[in-house]
Amino acid sequence: MENINPPITTQNLFDDSFNYPDLLGKQAWQNLHPAIQKRFSVKAHEAVTYKGEMSQVFASFTGKVLAQVCRIIGTPLALHTGKNIPVEVKVYPNNKLGGMTWDRFYHFSKKAVNRVKSTKCLQENTGLVEMVGCGFGMELNAFEKESAIYFESTRFFWQMGKFKIIIPDLLSPGKTVVSQKALNDKQFRFRLDVTHALLGKVFKQVGIFEAVTPN
């Protein structure tokens, strides 16, 4: 059990003291496609909606079971699988956590809309994290590769108040890697891969999106 500080305030997160260029480094930021820079710039902390289609939403047997179990903490994982799934993503400030919430709505055929929500925020002495509900989250390393932005999990945790417990890798969903790669000035490819050390590929999602409101 590890003593931690709570997430920094929204005011601190959204002022000039925090930005993705600082997280990635100047050279890596300059290597990003201009459309990606705009999406993650200091001025981009306003609500925006993206619409698109997931060409693939994959989950292994273990992934499907895990997704159902995780419903008790707020449905942080897609519950179903399929191809060519329409998805709407609403991104907006989360004042409570001091970050940006990514609210995803999967429209699987003949099923109720599947809502998946998580929030990226900062913690002092930890850096960028993604919270999924009930104190569960993952620490993230942000970096650039081939002009795309990547977020890679470094470890999972559960926190309550001033304490957090690190979840062993083998008991976590697996190494999580999310990327956004610009296809042009409007569209970008989203990709999610979750790979467990023993169970292999647990989740995979690939889709193309574009903003439908100004950002």
Cβ density class 90-120: b for 16+ within 10 Å, e for less:
bbebbeebbbbbbbbebebeeeeebebbbbb
Coil vs helix vs strand at 160: strand
Residues 6+ apart with CB under 8 A from 9: 98
pLDDT on residue 11: 37
Whole-prediction pTM: 0.89
Domain that holds residue 146: 2-211
> Per-residue pLDDT for the chain (215 aa), expressed as one digit of tens each?
444 444 433 334 444 445 788 889 999 999 999 999 988 885 556 789 999 999 999 999 999 999 999 999 988 999 999 999 999 999 999 888 888 999 999 999 999 999 999 999 988 778 899 999 999 999 999 999 999 999 999 999 999 888 889 999 999 999 999 999 999 999 999 999 999 999 999 999 999 999 996 55
Residue pair 103/90 in contact (Cβ under 8 Å)? The answer is yes
Domain count, the chain: 1
Q: Which of 89, 92, 133, 119 has the alpha carbon at shortest distance from 107?
A: 89
Q: Give, as one character, the DSSP assignment of residue 37.
A: H
CATH number for position 95: 2.40.128.20
